[in-house]
Amino acid sequence: MLSKSLLSFLLLVLLRLPLAAQMYSTTDPFAHTFSIVARDPATGEMAVAVQSHWFSVGTSVSWGEAGVGVVATQSFTNKSFGLRGLALLKSGKSAQQALDEPAI
């Protein structure tokens, strides 16, 4: 279970996120999706969360592995990116190095 401090941190960050939207065509409404990845510095606990106008995005956006880390992919997700991100973290790469790794 997440600690109170991590939940408080997540709530504060979510409230401060700027509004962003993506439009699929000029006749469709805006579709909003927000993701967050967080780490509690006191406990090392990590979490990933997603909120979206699209149904069931949690199975495509949120990725995590105990002792490794958490990853969030966004927009038109490629499920291999979540698995690949965790594999890069597991191999010892930093979060920034995993992000900078060229896509295959």
Which residue ranges make up each domain of the chain? 4-98
pLDDT computed for residue 42 by the predictor: 94
Per-block average pLDDT, block size 10, for the chain (104 residues)?
A: 60 48 55 83 90 79 90 78 91 91 79
Please tell me the predicted confidence (pLDDT) of residue 7: 58
pTM (2 decimals)?
A: 0.63
What per-residue confidence (pLDDT) applies to 21? 41
Residue 66, Cα to own-chain centre: how many angstroms? 15
Report CA dihedral (93, 94, 97, 99) to the nearest 10 degrees: 110
Helix (H, G, I), strand (E, B) or coil at 40: coil
pLDDT the model gives residue 22: 44
Residue-level pLDDT at 17: 46
Look at residue 19 in the predicted model and tell me its pLDDT.
40
Q: How many CB atoms lie within 10 A of CB 81?
A: 17
